[in-house]
Structure 1
Amino acid sequence: MTIRKLFPLLLLLVSVSFYAQGESMKEKKEQIKVLKVAFFTTELDLTNSEAEKFWPLYNTFDDNQFELRHQKMRAFMRRMSDGSLDKMTEKEASSFLAQIQDTEEELFLLRKKFTQNVRAIIPASKVLKLRKAEEDFNRKLLQQYRNKGSKK
C-alpha cells in the first residue's frame, strides 16, 4: 500500500477523536467532510479538471442527502420508537408507511440524478469507484465510532 493510500486512512484514524470532544454537530459534520474529501480524492484519483467540476456537484448532493436522511428519516425513527406504533390505527400506519416510502424514493431519485450528472464529468469507472469509496468510508467511520464506544 502506498503512502498516498495510507495518508487518508491515517488521517481518518487520527482525526476521528472528535467524537470524544464536546463539539457541535455542525463541527463534526465539517470534520467528517474534510476526511471524506481526502479519502475520495485518493480513491478516485481525479484530475484537476474533474475535481473542479466534481466537488461542487458532490457537495450539493451530499448536503441534500444529509438533509433528507437526518431530518425526515430521523423524525420517522423517533416516531417508530416512541411507542406510538402500537397505538396507530391501520389508516395512520398506512399513511406513515407511505411517508417513509416517499422519502426513500426521494433519496433514490436524488442519487439517480446525481449519478446522471456526475457521469458527464467523470467516467463510469470512477463513478463506480465513488460508490465503493462511499461504502468504505462509511464502514471505516462506523467502525471507529464503535471502537470509541467500546473503550468507555
Structure 2
Amino acid sequence: MKLKKIFLFLLLVNFIGFAQDSMVEKKNQIKALKTSFFTSELSLTSSEASRFWPIYNAYDDKQFEIRHQKVRTYRNSMKNNLLDKMSEKDATDLLRQIESTDEEIYLLRKNLITNLKRFLPKVKIIKLKKAEEDFNRKLLQQYKDKNSKN
C-alpha cells in the first residue's frame, strides 16, 4: 500500500513538472514571437536592440510575475459566489490589494519608459506601446481561432 502511494505521488509530481515545462515552453515561444514582432515594428538598430532587450525583458518578466502571482490571488477572491458573501472589511482589503497591484504595474511601466528615454527616440517608445497592443491582439486572435477549430 505504501509503495502504491509513493508511485501515485511520483506520478503527480511528474505530471506537474510536465505541465510547468509546457507552460515555460509556451512562454518562451511567445517571447520569441514578441521579440521578432517588436524588432520589426520598432525598426530597432542593432545598437538600440542591444540596450532595449535587457531592459524590456526585465520589465516584461517582472510584470508577468506581478500579474501571475498577485492578480491570480485576488481574482480567486472575486468569484461570484465569494463576492456575495464578502464582508465590507474583506472588500476593503481586496480593493487595497487591487489598487496596490495596479500602482506597482504603473510604476514599473513608468520606470521602463524613463529607462528607454535615455537612448530611444520618443516616437519608438510610443510605437512600443502600439506594438504591445497589436501583438496582444494578434495573440488573442490566434487563440480564438485555435479554439474555434476545436
TM-score, length of structure 2 as denominator length: 0.84
Residue equivalent to 2:22: 24
For residues 82-123 of structure 1, what are the alpha-carbon distances to aligned partners after superposition, in whole Å with 9 as ceiling and x for unaligned? 622111111111111111110011000100011010111201
Q: Distance in 1 between matches of 2:77 and 2:42?
A: 39
Matches within 5 A, 1:94-133: 94-133=92-131
For residues 28-67 of structure 1, what are the alpha-carbon distances to aligned partners after superposition, in whole Å with 9 as ceiling and x for unaligned? 0000000000000100111111111000000000000001
Give identity over the alignment, percent.
57
User: Does 1:77 pair with 2:75?
Assistant: yes
Where in structure 1 are there 5+ consecutive unaligned residues?
Answer: 1-21
Give the aligned residue type for 2:34.
Answer: K
Q: Tell me whether 22-31 or 104-113 shows the greater mean CA deviation.
A: 22-31
Where in structure 2 are there 5+ consecutive unaligned residues?
Answer: 1-18
Q: Distance in 2 between matches of 1:84 and 1:107?
A: 26
Residue among 31, 34, 44 paired with 1:33: 31
Residue equivalent to 1:57: 55
TM-align CA RMSD: 1.2
Residue equivalent to 1:68: 66
Q: Could you say which structure has the larger radius of gyration?
A: 2
The runs of 4+ residues in structure 1 deviating greater than 6 Å are none
Give the aligned residue type for 1:45.
Answer: S
Give the aligned residue type for 2:85.
Answer: K
Q: Tell me whether 22-31 or 39-48 shows the greater mean CA deviation.
A: 22-31
Aligned residues: 131
